[in-house]
Structure 1
Amino acid sequence: MTTIYDLHCHSTASDGVLSPTEVVARAIEKGVNVLALTDHDTTAGITEARLAAQQTDLTLISGVEISTTWENRAIHIVGLGFNETSATMTALLTHQAELRYQRAVEIGEKLAKVGVTEAFKQAKMLASGEVTRAHYARLLVNMGKVANENQAFKKYLSQGKSCYVKAQWCDIPTAIEVIHQAGGLAVLAHPLRYTLTNKWVKKLIADFTQWGGDAIEVASCGQTPEQRLLLAQWAKHFGLLSSVGSDFHFPCAWVELGKSLFLPDDSLPVWTKLSLD
């Protein structure tokens, strides 16, 4: 029987819509055997998820998705299999939370200028944890300002739009170092989703490798076969492990826990270096 891994997903601890308990239940329902909950810049949901996974056949490993800045772009680094009580990890995530809070407040102020009053207060009501752009997008949908969350980003929240606020995250070397100090592996999340040319993606992967990164996400939902093979080739070229992750945020047809998360045959899976006890 094939083991199904999903090493990138989100809960209400960040910008997902299901609680950690609900994420675990859905993962089991979808046949996932090994899961990492990787909320944005927080490990707040892991304890609940671990409790939910007890007395089940699901193996849960610690995870987080750290926001970083590279070449004036936001790049996400997933940490896997680390000690959540690590002092350096706790310090970094505390600082990231402060940056995220300030950014959320500033976005709310900009939304007020386009007629969305008390936006931060209203977005906070949609969030179990920190307020993110995704919560503002849901607020704009609920208010009828846009038809869906994608429109919210395109009209208000994306770079260059009226309510965009540039993030001030840590750099990639810092994220990798902290993950390693906590005993984990550093994974470059969804390399083809940063609207970069292939030349720039390769530069990103080269820098990530030079700074000590361990793996890249090779398999994700909604990929073409060509994209998966290309990422597998780059992982092999740079001597990196290969990871898999749905980047699940909410139930939908095209992004689902455990969906189509297989690696090409010659890939070296990241879980060969993870403790799955």
Structure 2
Amino acid sequence: MKTYMNADLHCHSVVSDGTLTPEVLAERAKANGVELWALTDHDEVGGQDRALAAARACGMPYLTGTEISVTFANQTVHIVGLGFDAHHTGLVEGLRRTRGGRSERAQEMSDGLAKVGILNAYEGALQYVGNPELISRTHFARHLVETGVCSDTPEVFRKFLTEGKPGYVPHRWARLQDAVQWITDAGGMAVIAHPARYGFTPNEEYALFSEFKTHGGRGVEVITGSHSSQEAVRYAETALEFGLAASRGSDFHSPTESRIDLGTLPLLPGQLTPVWELLADRIQ
């Protein structure tokens, strides 16, 4: 596999909190020149068979994917899994348990919004959910934009859905160790998603990478839609420091919401080992 590949190994469909179907995403990725694709819905592998079939239909190599929410240092961190068996019992069951707390959390978010005069937000958010088990802050944000409470989704998050705001409710996710083990046991590779987003102190970030590596994690997203060019350089250095392979993904959710479209990211720096080199036998 070539190092300078237009791989997009992080995006979301209607199966979690994206707005496009796996089939439309595959066509969009192919049209944008993607040479290797993965659908990575949140805590869910229910779209994998559709994504693989769609990728095959347009002649695009595919890696299975998911994005698992874990709690680390009292905040939510995302671990992408790539190249696993999407029907592995341990992984499927682990993801089912992780999804279990989302509905209860969503009801609490709705209650918080009601206290500031935004009524029936849960019912409104459900209109944007392809899979009710995966209701999230993004679905609430779409509802609040559509009903004119805010002008765009970033404004919703700033005013209502981040820590200390009326609609924010923390969720205890899986442990880091569990997520890495589910992915690894299913034959895949665990990757830390968009590490710059977490705002960890240097000590907390070092602890995250150290523990991740200890549990068998093998990769980190270096080029991603939420990383600046300076952050990409920083995490390229982190990948080398910890001996991790480098991944690349847009984190695309929607044509109208996402900063970066599928297939439009800069290429990985050449000194890094791309995750797809280590997953060559898992590409379908």
Equivalent position of 2:247 in the other structure: 243
Q: Are 1:31 and 2:33 an aligned pair?
A: yes
1-side partners of 2:18 and 2:113: how far apart?
Answer: 22
Aligned position for 1:64: 66
Distance 2:5 2:71 in 1: 34
Corresponding residue for 1:276?
283
Give the TM-score normalised by the residue count of structure 2. Answer: 0.93
Instruction: Kindly indicate whether the alpha-carbon contact (under 8 Å) linking 2:27 and 2:58 is maintained by their aligned counterparts in 1.
Output: no
Structure 2 unaligned residues grouped into runs of 5+: none
- Distance (whole Å) between structure 2 residues aligned to residue 55 and residue 126 of structure 1: 28
Which residues in structure 2 correspond to 1:82-93 (within 5 Å)?
A: 82-93=84-95
User: What stretches of structure 1 of length at least 5 have no aligned partner?
Assistant: none
Task: Give the Å deviation of 1:254.
Answer: 3.3
Identity of matched residues, %? 38
| Inter-CA distance 225–38: structure 2 relative to 1 (3 Å threshold) | same
- How big is each residue's C-alpha offset from its partner over 1:231-256, in whole Å with a ceiling of 9 and x where there is no partner? 11111111111111111111257311
Deviations 1:66-99 (A, max 9, x none): 0000010100000001111111111111111111
Q: Is the 8 A contact 1:33 1:57 kept in 2?
A: no
The answer for the alignment partner of 1:234 in structure 2 is: 238
- The number of aligned residues is 277
Please report the RMSD computed on the Cα atoms of aligned residues, expressed in angstroms. Answer: 1.6
Q: Classify the secondary structure of the residue corresponding to 2:105.
A: helix
Deviations 1:219-273 (A, max 9, x none): 1135433321211111111111111111111125731111124111110111111
For 1:127-173, what per-residue CA distance to the aligned partner results, in whole angstroms no more than 9, with x for missing partners? 11121100001111111111111111111111111111111101101
Q: How does 1:109-120 map to 2 (within 5 A)?
A: 109-120=111-122
Letter of the 1:31 counterpart: G
Tell me the distance in 2 between the aligned counterparts of 1:119 and 1:222: 28
Mean alpha-carbon deviation: is it higher for 103-112 or for 132-141?
A: 103-112
Paired residues of 2:196 and 2:227 also in contact (CA < 8 A): no
Confirm whether residue 184 of structure 1 aligns to residue 188 of structure 2: yes
Offset, 1:200: 3.2
When residues 92 and 230 of structure 1 are mapped into structure 2, their CA distance, relative to the original with a 3 A threshold, is same
My pick for the range that moved more, 202-211 or 90-99, is: 202-211
1:175 aligns to 2:182 (yes or no): no
Aligned residue runs from structure 1 range 1-277, under 5 A: 3-129=5-131, 130-221=134-225, 223-251=227-255, 254-274=259-279, 275-277=282-284
Q: Which runs of 4+ in 1 moved over 4 A?
A: none
> Which letter does structure 1 place at the counterpart of 2:106?
A
Q: 8 Å contact 1:245–1:261 — kept in the other structure?
A: no
| In 2, Cα distance between equivalents of 1:264 and 1:3 | 11
CA distance in 2, matches of 1:224, 1:64: 23
Letter in 1 for 2:97: H
SS in structure 1 of the partner of residue 10 of structure 2: coil
Deviations 1:36-61 (A, max 9, x none): 10011011222222222223221121
